[in-house]
Amino acid sequence: MTHRILQLSDAVRFPDDFLGNVVCADALDAITQVADESVGTVITDPPYGLNKKGIKNDADLSVFYSILPELHRVMKKDSWFISFFSTKHMPKIFVNNPFEYFWQMVLYSPEAFVMSPIGITKFMSVFVFKKGNPKLNKRTCDIIKDTPGRQVEPDEGFINHPTPKPKRFVMHLLEAFSSQNDVVFDPFVGSGSSLLAAKLLNRQFFGFEIESKFCKLACSRLNNFPLTQNSNQVVSMVSR
């Protein structure tokens, strides 16, 4: 299957046009096209108010709060909502949140060197919420060690996005919180790690991204993975 970038002006219809593709649009507009109770798992990494250079709408949490009720509407009766979130603003994820808290997952990166109020931070939080009573697909462990280089995937090389998440970690989450052929949805796709992880696990998927350069990047990763040339070379360069 070839994965495509769609515009809302192309009169796209849900779900046939959406599945397998990236819709290049403001998530708050595009989600109005998604049918009620049609999504099995939402996994996302929203703008979380850190004013991160290169991330649109990162000045505050307004986009996150605006999309929460819509996510609740489009998700199936028993489903998982998984979100990366900054440790700095962690309590704010529970404000006006229509989902029920389930668990916290941690990405531990021993080689990370992120300056923070405590000194150096080496972990990233992911919060798991639920709607109804979804079942775990696979029992799992809540701390995963993953040490990609900064903006580097061992098997893809440099990922030209300010905050790409390691797809192996996202695969670990999706193995636990979705099943084969479930529809996985990410309203803030970025470089496309969540969609690529869903593809590699044989889930159906779609996502939204507001910046056309990131839509192109995500689509290119979906269409070109696994790399056919020099992928071994990339691995050895990264692991040195």
Ligand X SMILES: C[S@@+](CC[C@H](N)C(=O)[O-])C[C@H]1O[C@@H](n2cnc3c(N)ncnc32)[C@H](O)[C@@H]1O
Amino acid at 8: L
User: Which residue lies nearest ligand X, judged by its C-beta?
Assistant: 190
Judged by beta carbon, residue 51 or residue 229, the one nearer ligand X is 51
CB of 77 to ligand X, least distance (A): 26
CB of 111 to ligand X, least distance (A): 18
CB of 40 to ligand X, least distance (A): 19
Give the E-state strand segments of 15-163 in sequence order.
Answer: 22-24, 39-44, 75-85, 100-108, 114-116, 119-121, 123-131, 143-145, 152-153, 157-158
Judged by beta carbon, residue 40 or residue 148, the one nearer ligand X is 148
Cβ contacts of 233 within 8 Å, gap of 6 or more: none
What is the C-alpha separation between 42 and 80, in angstroms, rounded? 6
Residue carrying structure tokens 């649009």 = 25
What is the C-alpha separation between 30 and 210, in angstroms, rounded? 10
Judged by beta carbon, residue 176 or residue 210, the one nearer ligand X is 210
Task: Give the interface with ligand X as residue ranges (CB under 6 A).
Answer: 26-28, 45, 47, 55-57, 63, 161, 163-165, 188, 190-191, 193-194, 208-211, 214
CB of 170 to ligand X, least distance (A): 8
CB of 23 to ligand X, least distance (A): 9
What is the C-alpha separation between 213 and 17, in angstroms, rounded? 21
Helix, strand, or coil (residue 176): helix
CB of 49 to ligand X, least distance (A): 11
Judged by beta carbon, residue 40 or residue 190, the one nearer ligand X is 190
Q: How many whole angstroms from its chain centre is CA 8? A: 21
What is the C-alpha separation between 107 and 82, in angstroms, rounded? 13
Judged by beta carbon, residue 175 or residue 211, the one nearer ligand X is 211
Q: How many whole angstroms from its chain centre is CA 123? A: 17
Judged by beta carbon, residue 127 or residue 214, the one nearer ligand X is 214
